[in-house]
Amino acid sequence: MKLRDKIAVVTGGARGIGQACAIALAKEGAHVCVTDIIPMEETMEAIKALDRQTLGIKTDVSQKRDVLNMVAQVIEKFGKIDILVNNAGTCQRVPLEELTEEQWDRDVNTIMKGTFLCTQAVYPHMKKNGSGKIVNIASISGKIGGAVSKKGAGVEGKRGRSGPAYAAAKGGVIAFTKWVAKDAGCYGIYVNAVAPGGIETDMSKGFVYPIEDLPISRMGKPEDVAQMVVFLASDASNYTTGQAINVDGGWVMD
């Protein structure tokens, strides 16, 4: 097992990519703390079935008080945090001219502010231990800004397109990843991001993605992302930091 007895925290771990990450980390031997604003029992039961310890903490990652409380509970139970996976996110698929300030704030606060608050909260514990792995779930939308609009196209014509707030927030996560990686290296902390493309989750339901144009012509699965997260959380990635690695079937090549 690559992660035997490591202590991991996965935000947004109740379903989708977060759930797949939590289970994949547990399969490699980690004890996994799951946070979300919705019930997490399904993920926790899967972790327990792998004979790993777990802790479920209802957490709004956009609220500093919630985040500090979550980290305190993990430290109280396990004494350390080895791995942080910042996965919690929302996606407002709304055209620019219709996007409300509240919708903008929802994506930016959950994705970008949440990544900042959780990283800030675990950082001193990782520095004290002289080691740590932080993996941020970004998106190829944070690199390319989503799909190109066609004049006169309705919502159904925007092939899997994310909204402007989502793209901006994910781009911010990538920049933040690089900043923290440069600061954290001297403390033995590695910081990377994963940039998924079209992944089969509740968030992507009802939208058509141009998979026929991809070198790997299929939608990705949450487990595809989770395997990259496991790599970045393990010693196999000990010469990799500050990267945003695409898991997208070849959609973006950079």
Catalytic residue IDs: 166
Residues whose CB falls within 8 Å of the CB of residue 187, separated by 6 or more in sequence, listed in order: 126, 127, 130, 132
Closest of 27, 20, 19 to residue 1, by C-alpha: 27
Contact (Cβ atoms closer than 8 angstroms) between residue 28 and residue 2: yes
Contact (Cβ atoms closer than 8 angstroms) between residue 50 and residue 26: yes
What burial letters (b/e) apply to 29-51, b meaning 16+ CB within 10 Å?
ebbbbbbbbeebeebbebbeeee
Asked whether the CA dihedral 67, 128, 47, 243 is positive or negative, the reply is positive
C-alpha span between 145 and 100 (Å, rounded): 19
For residue 80, the surrounding DSSP H or E stretch is none
